[in-house]
Amino acid sequence: FVLICVAYLGAFVLHYGFPNPAARGPDPYAAMPGMLSASLAFVLVVKMLLLLVFQAYRGMWRYLDVADLMTLAKVSVLSGVILIVGLPFVVRGVIIPRSVLVIDFLLFTFLLIGSRVSFAALNDSFIRLQSRWEPRVLILGAGDLGELVLRSILRSHPAAYRPVGFLDPDPAMRNRTLH
């Protein structure tokens, strides 16, 4: 709810610029309360409904993968298309510039995905800080199984080991990083 409102209001502010009381001529902010009051409810309903339909909040926030990001991207793109096409039919008598809707799409996408990524990043950072004083361990094999072992060690609570590297006979794996 908050992200939707911040993105939509931010789109208007970025489109019209910040208020300047010393500016001459018509005030572009005079029409903004009418535009917001006429359209914000529809914007909230569309985006909240799509987040619900796509079950964007069912996943655990501390784990994030490409499928979660694709779900959030689908919600953002579909809501942007619905708003650009449907808003003129729903809100009669008020003209909302399409550039506001494009800016809203960009801000909403950034805020939505950024909020999920920030939770995963914070969780990862706290886990790495906790494991600083644990015994160090090398993992044998830098393939899929080694990555799974690494992820399991990093996410274990309380941390028992601190992974410091991989041992792998494949020369192609030299000087590579993983997580």
Q: What is the tens place of the pLDDT at every residue in 113-166?
A: 898 888 778 877 776 676 567 788 889 888 888 888 888 887 776 677 888 889
Name the average pLDDT for the chain: 84
DSSP reduced 3-state for 162? strand
Q: What is the tens place of the pLDDT at every residue in 169-179?
A: 888 888 887 76
Q: What is the tens place of the pLDDT at every residue in 74-93?
A: 999 999 999 999 998 888 87
DSSP reduced 3-state for 136? strand
Residue ranges in the chain assigned as alpha helix (H): 2-16, 32-53, 66-90, 98-130, 144-155
Straight-line distance from the first to the last Cα atom of the chain, in angstroms, rounded to the nearest whole number = 33
The pLDDT assigned to 21 comes to 66
Query: Is the preceding omega at residue 88 within 30 degrees of 0, hence cis?
Result: no
Instruction: Take residue 171 and report the two structure tokens written for it.
Output: 């020369």
DSSP label at 76? Answer: H
- Burial string for 51-65 (b: 16+ CB within 10 Å, else e) reads beeeebeeeeeeebe
The residue behind tokens 């655990």 is 60
